[in-house]
Amino acid sequence: MVFARLAGGATPSMSLAGRVAALTGIRRYGLAFLLGMAAAAALPPIYAVPLLLPAFVGLLWLIQASPNWRASAWIGWWFGLGHFAVGTYWISISLLVDAARFAWLIPFAVFGISGYLALYPALAAVATHVSRTRGVGRVLVFAAAWFAAEWLRGVALTGFPWNLMGTVWAFSDGMIQITSVIGVLGLGFVTVLLAALPAVSLGRLDGIGSNRARPRGWQVCVVICAALAGLWGFGAVRLAGAETVTVPDIRLRIVQPNIAQKNKWRPDLMERNFAHHLRLSTAPGFERTTLVIWPEAAATFPLATRPARRAAMTIAVPKGGYLITGAPRTTMAGVSPPQLWNSVYAIDEAGEAAAIYDKHHLVPFGEYLPLRDILKSAGIDKIAPGALDFSPGPGLATLGLPGLPRLSPLICYEVIFPSRVIAPGARPGWLLNVTNDAWFGRSSGPYQHLASARIRAVEEGLPLVRAANTGISAVVDSHGRVTARLGLNEEGVIDAALPAAVPTLTLFARYGNWIALLIAGAGVLIGLWVGRRV
């Protein structure tokens, strides 16, 4: 229906592909924008995966009908703008926490960030156009180009691999098991390939299909169904008999205080918030706990310079165990220049810091202000409270605490980076993600964050424990299955055992994205060979 309404200038006898090809001007870009929005509906928490079919088929037709690479770039950009505006709209909610200062930035944040992220689909569209391929070959090149664009988006300008296409399958434990081999980027390659494949058989568009080599609709349907069945079958076999084994003698208590972001840093409420964490930590069942975990910045004061505060926290430290909490860390008084870190502390029974990790992958505009001198003069500042920018830590770390398996701490969105959640050297036994998704209210953001974190567990074959101020605390086993959780805007604790890691390294843990890269590279070579022979 959308195709038909936009294709007002097309003749009734045209195929659907021909109608799309006949679009000009704003109709072409408007359709690309709507198709990008449709693709975003496949992401968590909606998971309308069938919408990927019209989204990518339509996008491929629009690219094919573009007269030159510049026109293809604009098609890809408009698709990306719609896709990311819908997929990351929740960014605007964080600007309402201090609406008086930041609400005016909402349109600039949503469409500015989406406009930047849309450059990557634009690159994929250009690569597809200049390949001069046809038929199935063009689909293969397009899927590989999308794979490359997602990889680049994850590393360029500090990286933002949010909502990678493979996460559309996070609703199914079985479908995401293949990420233990090819990672979420590889699963995204397969997803885009299958979603765009019907473009070669629906209608007739010069260059997409020809009289000589155009698969029939039922043949394409068989290929798609067989591939999806194969992915699910791999997952079913991997999960068959894979019980959630737990680490002996470890009992976790994850605290989710559910403190509204507008109340979190208010000076008049800090004592109450601190007491709230202590009360939840020591609620009935505490005597059986060996490790208490608080979320990101649960302690709103610098622990290193507040020994009395650390001493007060010892009532929430289990006997012989630890309290792990997020907290700011500052340089000591008199040190110049002063610095601030977003950190994780492990506090022991004596109130001492047994281990500290400083977040190294900071959020631009959230934790620091790029080009501070220029933007500050324009009235733009970071949205996190405090005058100082956070400083980055030295990098990923593996913390060793007596009585616990080694752990890899990840603060907030550090968990969304495939193959970059474990430090080189001694391998950890589990991943710990502390976060504060209260910034994003009741939106899709916290669900997307959890979906990405779950896939890290599958890729690495490691359990993941997630403590959120709110949205969404969980315990995830090494196959990505959620064994316990507290929902968005819920207050309480999770008492759970710590799942064990898989006994052998996954292929992804061993080789990272190289397997997916080889598959996508083979797709390009096959696509170029087949696509130029049609």
Residues with a known catalytic role: 296, 359, 412
Contact, 155 vs 98, CB < 8 A?
no
Q: Token match 């990790």: residue?
A: 357
Q: Beta-carbon neighbour count of residue 319 at 10 Å?
A: 9
Element (H, E) at 353: strand 353-358
Length of the chain in residues, anyone? Answer: 534
Dist. CA 57–CA 192, nearest whole Å: 10
Two structure tokens written together for 315: 């009532």
Burial (0-12, 13-18, 19+ Cβ within 10 Å), 527: buried
Phi, psi of 264 (to 5 degrees): -65, -40
Dist. CA 412–CA 483, nearest whole Å: 21
User: What's the 3-state SS for 256-291?
Assistant: ECCCCHHHHCCHHHHHHHHHHHHHHHCCCCHHHCCE
User: What's the 3-state SS for 196-222?
Assistant: HHHHHCCCCCECCECCCCCCCHHHHHH
Dist. CA 399–CA 401, nearest whole Å: 6
Burial (0-12, 13-18, 19+ Cβ within 10 Å), 378: exposed
**DSSP state, residue 324:** E
User: What's the 3-state SS for 507-525?
Assistant: HHHHHCCHHHHHHHHHHHH
Dist. CA 145–CA 152, nearest whole Å: 10
Burial (0-12, 13-18, 19+ Cβ within 10 Å), 92: buried
Rg of the chain over CA atoms, in angstroms? 25
Dist. CA 467–CA 493, nearest whole Å: 10
Judged by DSSP in three states, 15 sits in coil
**Which residues have a Cβ under 8 Å from the Cβ of 449 and sit 6 or more positions away?**
413, 415, 416, 435, 437, 471, 472
Dist. CA 251–CA 268, nearest whole Å: 34
Dist. CA 436–CA 254, nearest whole Å: 13
Q: CA 325, 503, 177: angle at the middle one, nearest 5?
A: 85
What residues does 328 pair with on adjacent strands? Answer: 342
